Amino acid sequence: MMVFRFILVSALCFFSIFLNAQNELEFNKVINEKITGNGGFITKSVTVPKGKVWKITAASAGYNDSRKGLVHASGELAFTLNDVALFYKANGGNIDPPKPFPFWLPEGTYTMKLYFSSPSASFSIAGTISIIEFNVRK
């Protein structure tokens, strides 16, 4: 029985040399990516740099009120990232429940889109994504 254990442990040690572990993540920084503009439809490209991943933790959108800050306006408001809805408020004032956060983005370029249903209005609208950036270590 002792010989069997020795052979088993030796075999496990030998084969563990050939195993390749997954990449490790190392915290880099916190980012608050913002998109702003006046009414209508606004787009902005954001890039996750090479060797990094982003953990998207939250998102919100609204219009900038000079007295109150970022608030929810009457009218439809949609905020997306590569056509994934991050935030949506219907014209009737109902805000859809938040999307399942967090989610991860690998390196690459993505398009943020912000839409407000009143393009003729001169409202200053904004959307914000909260991000934790990690370095990918091999």
Supply the pLDDT for residue 62: 85
Supply the pLDDT for residue 12: 59
Say how many domains are in the chain. 1
Q: Which of 111, 110, 103, 106 is nearest to 136 (CA)?
A: 106
Tokens 């997306």 correspond to what residue? 80
User: Mind listing the pLDDT tens digit for each residue in 101-113?
Assistant: 899 999 999 999 9
Instruction: Identify whether 6 is part of a domain.
Output: no
Which CATH number do you get for residue 94? 2.60.120
Residue 92 has pLDDT above 90, yes or no: no
Contact 95, 89 (CB under 8 A): yes
Mean pLDDT of the chain: 82
Task: Please state whether the predicted TM-score (pTM) of the whole model is above 0.85.
Answer: no
Instruction: Identify whether 57 is part of a domain.
Output: yes
Quickly state the pLDDT bin for 76 (edges 50, 70, 90).
Answer: confident
User: Mind listing the pLDDT tens digit for each residue in 3-51?
Assistant: 666 666 665 556 556 555 578 999 999 999 999 988 788 999 999 999 9
Instruction: Identify whether 96 is part of a domain.
Output: yes
- Phi and psi (nearest 5°) for 74? -75, 140
Contacting residues for 79 by C-beta, under 8 A, at least 6 apart: 35, 59, 60, 61, 85, 86, 87, 88, 112, 113, 114, 115, 127
Instruction: Identify whether 83 is part of a domain.
Output: yes
Instruction: Identify whether 120 is part of a domain.
Output: yes
Supply the pLDDT for residue 129: 94
Residue 68 has pLDDT above 80, yes or no: no
Six-digit token pair at 111?
């398009």
Supply the pLDDT for residue 17: 62
